[in-house]
Structure formats: C-alpha cells, structure tokens
C-alpha cells in the first residue's frame, strides 16, 4: 500500500501536482479493502493520509489527543507531523516510530491496525525519495563534499610547491588539470548545440570550482 501511494500512476519524482497527489490518496483508499475499513471507522483518516503524502515541511507539533477524539483539524496536524519526523531521522522506520510516539492517536491506530505501520514506512521511503527537500539535502551534501575535496587538493598542491617537492607538485597539478579538463570536455559536449555563449557560461563554474554548487542549485530548483 505504501509503495502504491507514491509510485503508482507516475508518482515517482514528485512532478505531479498537489491536487493529483490528494486525488491519488482518495483513489487508493477506495480501492483498498483494508483502507476502506479504516476510513469507514475514522473518516478523517483520508485527510491525515493526504497531509502525510504531500511531503511538505512544517513545524512538528506533538498531538496527545486520543484516537477516538481525533477530528479533521487534528488529522491535518498529525499528518503534517510525519514529514519533520522523517527528516530528523536517518532511517525511515525510526522517523515513523518517532511520529507514532509523538502523536498518541497514531500509536493507537497502529495497535488497532498492526499492518499500518509498515504501510507508513513504505510511504515514508517514497516521500523522502521524491520530496524536493529530500533531494535538496542529498545534492547539496554531495556538492559540498566535492568542493571540500577540491579545496583540499589545491591546498596539498600548494604545500608541495612550498616544500620544494616538485615531483609531487607536478603530479598534483596534472591530476587537477585532467579532472578540470574532463569536466570542460563534458560541458562542451552537452552544450555545443546551444552556442558558444552557453558553453562559456557552463564552463566558468568548472574553472572556479563551483560546478557542483551550480548543479546542486539547478537540481534543487527543478
């Protein structure tokens, strides 16, 4: 169920609209016999599921209300709480567990329907994979690592020069040159049909070592 909520019908990648995601949740609830049973007893469950599936960052506000007392207003807050819980944990299951502990109704819901916790774990995996904030964190971390690596290489190269170790210095310069040269060649191949201006524009970040940061920005921006 959790997988269907994210990947079925072209959901992977987060390109679908907010309305499409909410409509998809409604369809899943109607098609699944298990979820129909839940919705029949707790009509607000669809609202909670929609809010959890949207993958929008919000402030985590723990809810101590009992399951039997939950209404639409509380369901929206509880659903919104899933995302910050997932974001604060490296393991999806741990994020869902935190969500369960912070929201009493969720814990009681999982006790009544034991299969539901696994469903939300699968849902969480898909949301984190497709949500912009999840993608943004991964690409920014990768870009930062690449830039730190470049700065380290330049620092070591300068140390070799100052120490008079010309053999190591030349080898380090050659390594950096090959790396930058390959990146410039790839930029040229990717943009040669778009004109010289575009090639130069894409080549400049490579020369100053900011290509990973520019790529991270473009990916996060979509």
Cα–Cα distance, 183 to 197 (Å, whole number): 17
Residue pair 187/175 in contact by the 8 Å Cβ criterion: no
- Mean pLDDT rounded to a whole number for the chain: 84
The pTM of the full predicted model, rounded to 2 decimals, is: 0.57
- Spatial neighbors of 13 by CB under 8 A, at least 6 apart, are 130
The end-to-end CA distance of the chain, in Å, is: 28
Give pLDDT tens digits for 182-200.
989 999 998 889 888 989 9
Chain-centroid distance, C-alpha 4: 18
Give pLDDT tens digits for 75-131.
999 999 998 998 888 788 999 999 999 999 999 999 999 999 999 998 888 887 766
Ordered alpha helix ranges (H), the chain: 2-7, 18-31, 33-41, 45-54, 72-87, 92-102, 104-112, 116-130, 132-162, 166-191, 196-208, 211-221
Other CB atoms within a 10 A radius of the CB of residue 43 amount to: 12
């Amino acid at each position: 169920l959790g997988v269907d909520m994210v990947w079925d019908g072209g959901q992977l990648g987060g390109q679908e609209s907010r309305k499409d995601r909410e409509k998809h949740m409604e369809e899943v609830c109607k098609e699944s016999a298990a979820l129909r049973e839940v919705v029949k007893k707790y009509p607000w469950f669809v609202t909670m599921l929609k809010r959890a599936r949207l993958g929008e960052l919000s402030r985590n506000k723990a809810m101590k209300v009992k399951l039997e007392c939950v209404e639409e207003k509380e369901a929206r807050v509880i659903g919104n709480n899933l995302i910050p819980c997932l974001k604060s944990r490296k393991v999806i299951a741990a994020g869902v567990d935190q969500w369960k502990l912070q929201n009493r109704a969720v814990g009681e819901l999982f006790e009544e329907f034991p299969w539901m916790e696994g469903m939300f774990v699968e849902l969480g995996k898909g949301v984190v994979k497709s949500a912009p904030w999840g993608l943004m964190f991964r690409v920014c971390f990768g870009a930062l690592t690449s830039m730190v690596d470049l700065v380290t290489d330049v620092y070591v190269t300068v140390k070799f020069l100052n120490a008079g170790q010309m053999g190591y210095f030349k080898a380090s310069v050659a390594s950096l040159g090959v790396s930058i040269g390959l990146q410039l060649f790839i930029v040229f191949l990717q943009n040669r049909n778009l004109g010289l201006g575009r090639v130069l524009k894409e080549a400049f970040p490579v020369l100053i070592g900011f290509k990973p940061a520019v790529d991270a920005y473009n990916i996060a921006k979509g």
